[in-house]
Structures are given as C-alpha cells and as structure tokens.
Amino acid sequence: MTTTKFVLPESDIPTTWYNVVPDLPKGLPPMLHPGTREPITPADLAPLFASELIAQEFATDRDVDIPGPVLDIYRQWRPSPLIRARRLERDLDTPARIYFKYEGVSPAGSHKPNTAVPQAYYSKLDGVRRLTTETGAGQWGSSLSMACAYFDLECDVFMVRVSYDQKPYRRGLMETFGATVTASPSDRTEAGRAVLAADPDATGSLGLAISEAVEAAMGSGGSARYALGSVLNLVLMHQTIIGQEALLQLDLADDYPDVVVGAAGGGSNFAGLALPFLRRQFEGGRTVRFLAAEPSSCPSLTEGSYDYDFGDTAGLTPLAKMHTLGHDFRPPAIHAGGLRYHGMAPIVSALREVDLIEARAVPQTACFEAGVRFARSEGIVPAPESSHAVRVAIDEALRCRETGEEKAILFSLSGHGHFDMQAYIDYFAGKLTD
C-alpha cells in the first residue's frame, strides 16, 4: 500500500513546545524599551501580556510544558495531517517527493489557533477579562476570537480598514465567535484619531492596527491585555508543535526532508515547522535547507535592513532587532495576498543573519498560479499566504526535474483559502498584477 496521509494518534501530540533561543549561535539581541531604549524587563511588559506569556518570551529552557487545558483543545484538530502530494508530483513530473503539513484543519482554518489558544488560556489564568488585538485579512482575528470564546474572554479586534470593507466574511466569523470588530484607523484611540485627522479616508495598515490594539489594552485600567499573532518568541515557540509532529510523521514515512519551506509574514508558521528540524540539525542530524517565502511587494527578509525597529506604526511597542522595511511601511495597493507585516520575527531574522535559513521573494501572480495548480491536483485551495510556500516548493520540485535529484521537499500549507475566493476571482479576471 502506498501511504498518502501520515496520521498520528492523539496520544502522540507533543506535550512540550521547543524554545530555540538557547540554541541560537549568537543569542538574541534584547528588545528595547520604546522610551528609554534600554533592554526591556519582564515588568515593562506586564501591562501588555499575561505573566506566564512574559515568562515564555524570556524563557531560557529548551522545552516548555504545554498545559493540559491547551492540549485538550489542540486535540480537536491535532495532530494535523502530513500529506504526500502524489498527484502534484505526477503533475510536475518531478522525481522529488513533496510533503505538506496541513494546518487548514483547525476550526479557524490556519495555524494561528496554535498560539491563540495558549494566549487566551494564560490570560484567563491571570484574571484578564478582555484581549485586544489587530488583524489584517482576518486569519489572526478569527483565531483569537475562537480562543476567547473557548475561555469566556471578550475579544476586541482592530481590523485594517481596507480588509474590514473588503472581507466581510472573516469579520462575520469573528462576530460569530462573539468578538467586537472595529475598523482601523478608528476614533477609539489617539493613534487612530491622529491618522484620521490627517486623512479621513485612510485605509489603515497592520502597524497602525497594532498601535490601536496596544493603546486600547494599556488604557484599560488592567482589565485587558494585548495578544499578538506572530513575531514574538513565545508565538514561534507555540507553533513548534507543527514541526515536532512533522518529524514523527516523516518517521512513519521513513523519510527526511532535504528542503523545508514556509510562507513568512511575521515568521511563525515557517519557524513552527522549521525549528524542530533545525534542532535535530544542531544535535548532529542532517543539514536541511530552510526556505522562507515572502511576497516581492513586502520583502522584509530579502530586502529589509537588519535593525532595531518598532513593532507598530505609532512607536508604542518595544523595539526589536529584526529585518524590517520600516515601521511606517505599507505594501502597494496591488498586493492581495496577506503577509503584509513590515518586520520579521527576531528569531527568524537572527537565523537569516547566520545563514542557517534562506529567503525567497515571490511575485503574487506566480503565487496564485501555484495555488491554482496545487488546488487542481490536491483539491485544497491554499490561503493566498500559503501559496507563497506552494510556489517555492513547486520551484524546488521543478528544479529536481531538471537535475534528476530525488529530493524530499516539505512545506507548510498554513491555511485554506475558503475566505479568500475574491482574491482568486480577481486573479482569474486578470486584475492582479506584480
């Protein structure tokens, strides 16, 4: 029998997350306080995050226990399947073996609940009543809304205005989970009012929505905290459940990847898949090529500078050393496919600096072409974000066709595109350009 889907029993769900920080060859530069520019302390973050999350952001242990109530929720969709893309291999006529780890099976349709659930759980433990956050296309907002519903927390989402207007279904999903959704810029915060005063028709950006969500949490008198869906050390750590499962599943397949690919916005799903393989490599295992795929129109890793920058537009967050396009960056209006954040996770940035990972920038029409090809052979419509990884994985497989190399390629299919069909419709209508 040829196996296509490598399935683990629930009892094999990893019970710890992997913290890569102690294994980074040059360590991680500290985050800096936005006022003093001194390294931040856990106390500086207390108005923003629950205490256990702050402890995780500064953690120096390699293995961090996943709490039982979080595992109980993970069990609803984890372990997620690892699938051999046999029909795609035939379609590409490649000698490569292509595997994808499919995170679209979560209730919100992406990998983001892997961190939304523990962030909501630890906030509840601290007696927080409300979480504030930002969302662009709505994947993160819907994941956090779902997690808040599980733990009976209020969820207050600032949604980038252009998506608020163009993506009513993600907004509807958040409201179904009980969240309050506010278009950003809004008149609820100083950061939002300043932008609206200069331009009443401003369509917003992820960086500005972060400023609004941070300001709303800090002005809550302690009842609210802020949640972030990517970039932070703790988020990347929560996502390592993906790669740990994939290691076990490739054992079942009696295979090991030569290349690991992930789409990188803030870097969390890419790192979540890659870091457990990198750990194996640190421990003497095979060397893997890790490829982070990003949009040509938001090329933080391939073209950004490696510098201290704010996480948000208004400069309310700590400064992090990362690859960045500048905190006032806004992707060109033609860009449809998510992955719009100006910076990159400090961990991913640090790995890029020491050449442990590579990065590829891919234009959007090539990504949609790859997404459509994948859908027609594997039946799953990739989220536009995920299609960046599909593109790079297909390019690797096509290279194998030319060289005859029988490589194993593993990529992260971070989510499905069922809420993004307008972008596919626009692609078919020829409305998307590079």
Ligand X SMILES: *Cc1c(COP(=O)(O)O)cnc(C)c1O
Residues that bind ligand X (CB under 6 A): 110, 112, 139-140, 230, 263-270, 338-339, 383, 385-386, 414-415
Helix (H, G, I), strand (E, B) or coil at 381: coil
Q: For residue 131, give both structure tokens.
A: 């979480």
For residue 147, report the phi and psi dihedrals to the nearest 5 degrees.
-65, -40
Only one residue has tokens 């504030």, namely 132
Q: Rg of the chain over CA atoms, in angstroms?
A: 20
Q: For residue 178, give both structure tokens.
A: 């009980």
Q: Which is nearer to ligand X, 56 or 386 (CB)?
A: 386
CA distance 131 to 124: 10
CB of 297 to ligand X, least distance (A): 15
Q: Which is nearer to ligand X, 312 or 385 (CB)?
A: 385
CB of 193 to ligand X, least distance (A): 28
Q: Which is nearer to ligand X, 195 or 320 (CB)?
A: 320
Q: Which residue is nearest to ligand X (CB)?
A: 415
Q: Which is nearer to ligand X, 97 or 342 (CB)?
A: 342
CB of 243 to ligand X, least distance (A): 13
CB of 268 to ligand X, least distance (A): 3
CB of 37 to ligand X, least distance (A): 26
Q: How many Cα atoms sit within 13 Å of 108 on the Cβ side?
A: 33
Q: Which is nearer to ligand X, 257 or 417 (CB)?
A: 417
Cα 129 to chain centroid, rounded: 25
Q: For residue 262, give both structure tokens.
A: 């992930």
- Nearest CA among 304, 327, 112, 361 for reference residue 205: 327
Q: For residue 431, give both structure tokens.
A: 């409305």
CB of 321 to ligand X, least distance (A): 18
Residue 18, beta-bridge partner list: 63
Q: Which is nearer to ligand X, 184 or 230 (CB)?
A: 230
